[in-house]
Structure 1
Amino acid sequence: MQSGSYLTAAFYKFVELTDYAERREPLLLLCNKLGIRGLILLAREGINSTIAGEPDAVRLLLAHLRADPLLADLQHKESWANKAPFRRMKVKLKKEIVTLGVAGVSPTKMVGQYVKPQDWNALISDPNVLVIDTRNDYEVELGSFKGAINPNIETFSALPGWLDSTTLLNNRSKKTTKVAMFCTGGIRCEKSTALLKEKGYEQVYHLEGGILKYLEHITPEQSLWEGACFVFDERVSVEHGLKLGPHQLCRCCRQPVSEIAAASPKFELGVSCPRCFEKTTDEQKQSARERQRQCELAEQRQETHVGQSTTLS
């Protein structure tokens, strides 16, 4: 059900894009023409993006992408917001559309078995299945699936090291061990299962469409999800039905701020939160205060802040 005037579309696809660098400028120009904001990542291994704008504009961009035979079956997830979820439009070239940092690992070569949200509960309820959350530690703090393993990693690129060192996997048979992995939108867990397949694990599964698709389709009464799900845009977090969660975003460290953290004296809107307060100098905090003041003035005038420009990099 629509709730809001801004349509957000999240999508990715692992596909060989040999001309990915040439795609950057035309995509940015089209997004600017349509008034779309957000982030598009392009790499040889594919495309990864979350964008937002007027509904017709977003759908025009999606249609443009799908007109390319390589992206014809591109799937996306939709949500709605009353405020623009992004402040600028960026199109970036990357080595990977999601950084794992292990050469040769690609879901275009091999990948785990996709599990639809409707079948996920049955899989992870099996006591013989290792359920691994592939997200960063601050994301897991907000919520996760009941009984899921938290690797306690700060970045996705730290996951391979954890997989190599954890006794949860090292003491088990690669032939018979069942591993189910999940992430926000499906891209990280898809690449994670490709890594495990590369390592020789045979029974590897991942949640198709990620947590967002699960929260969209599974009711709270049927759900094994606990808490909220962090999203990398101005919505900050979502709950069942993709309704907005109770979190703010720290403009300093770009991580979620809970209601409890927002009550801390170390939290200052646009400046700091308890997680990053000690990591910035007084001069940096003062600069952030001025930036926040300018953003608030621009919002009152219904303008875009001068620092919120569109960019290729």
Structure 2
Amino acid sequence: MKILNIAAYKFVALDRLPELKDAIAQALAARQIKGTVLLAEEGINLFLAADSAAIHDFLAWLRLDARFQDLDVKQSWSAAQPFGKLLVKIKPEIIRMNHPAIQPSAGRAPAVNAATLRRWLDQGHDDDGRPVAMLDTRNTYEVDAGTFHRAIDWRLEKFTEFPQAVLDHRDALAGKTVVSFCTGGIRCEKAAIYLREAGIEHVYQLDGGILKYFEDCGPAHFDGECFVFDDRRAVDAALKPRVDIGASSDSHAPQAVGSLPA
């Protein structure tokens, strides 16, 4: 395992996006790093891979910008480069929800860390005795690769369907502690804010998503693997890839290599 894969995002107000895009693209290309970076006025979202030295050098460069000093990065390893190219794009949102009023940079919903969530799932309730409802905010094909035991799955085809699904199923969440989760944290962060605004009283986002949960807690309470948007297709609870991409680059993922979830 010689290739370091990183996933990171941060909701933070960004300006002069074309200049930032060019600077990041040049910094990545100079270090022969591949993957995808999305930029929007609301923040940054990235999935990248290269040898460890190149990745850490890029992160040191990026964190020279005060807006990215505390960028939280999830790491995993693969035997070969899982991305076919480098893409740096400017988008209206770093994860599309089509609800401009949802602004995580203005204040997050409460988060629960992996260790606390595992304890809640072990004991069958949160610390106040409420039942815990795990709410998967990902798309159908991601859920089908693996999810938490008895997680709520609304069969979303894309994240923009999430707000209407909340309105359709809101009553079923009443009286429960709802924990929204996704791959790395970005969708469940927006989801948790929307849930609270929709009147769900006890809502948390899983801090760092499934990838951070795997890193801290392994496979406990999780069935299957975590879908990822590159040639690895999915990673198991040890963050090891399903596919030996060093032996085969064939992929049946629903989206092109280098893309991020809709």
> Could you state the TM-score of these two structures normalised by the residue count of structure 2?
0.88
Q: CA deviation at 1:113?
A: 1.4
Please name the residue that 2:238 is paired with.
Answer: 241
Q: 1:172 to 1:31 in 2, by over 3 A?
A: closer
If asked which structure has higher relative contact order (CA below 8 Å, sep 6+), I would say 2
Say whether the 8 Å CA contact 2:133–2:173 is kept in structure 1.
Answer: no
Give me the whole-angstrom Cα distance separating, in 2, the residues matched to 1:229 and 1:33. Answer: 31
Please name the residue that 1:282 is paired with.
Answer: none
Aligned residue-pair number: 247
Q: 1:171 to 1:217 in 2, by over 3 A?
A: closer
Q: CA deviation at 1:83?
A: 1.1
- Alignment of 1:84 with 2:99, yes or no, is no
Please tell me the residue identity of whatever aligns with 1:213. K
- Alignment of 1:159 with 2:162, yes or no, is yes
| Gaps in structure 2 of 5+ consecutive residues | 245-249
Q: CA deviation at 1:115?
A: 1.1
Q: Give matches, 1:1-313, under 5 Å.
A: 4-124=1-121, 125-126=124-125, 128-166=131-169, 169-170=170-171, 173=174, 177-220=176-219, 223-245=220-242, 249-250=251-252, 253-254=254-255
Q: 1:144 to 1:255 in 2, by over 3 A?
A: farther
Cα RMSD for the two superposed structures: 2.1
Please tell me the residue identity of whatever aligns with 2:171. N
Q: CA deviation at 1:172?
A: 5.8
Please name the residue that 2:247 is paired with.
Answer: none
Overall identity of the aligned pairs, in %: 36
Deviations 1:60-114 (A, max 9, x none): 1111111111111001011111111111101000011001111210112233211
Please tell me the residue identity of whatever aligns with 1:122. R
Please tell me the residue identity of whatever aligns with 2:78. A
Q: CA deviation at 1:200?
A: 3.4
Give me the whole-angstrom Cα distance separating, in 2, the residues matched to 1:74 and 1:63. Answer: 11
Give me the whole-angstrom Cα distance separating, in 2, the residues matched to 1:192 and 1:119. Answer: 20
Please tell me the residue identity of whatever aligns with 2:15. T
Q: 1:61 to 1:255 in 2, by over 3 A?
A: closer
Give me the whole-angstrom Cα distance separating, in 2, the residues matched to 1:23 and 1:198. Answer: 32
| Gaps in structure 1 of 5+ consecutive residues | 257-307, 309-313
Give me the whole-angstrom Cα distance separating, in 2, the residues matched to 1:144 and 1:249. Answer: 21
Give me the whole-angstrom Cα distance separating, in 2, the residues matched to 1:120 and 1:130. Answer: 11
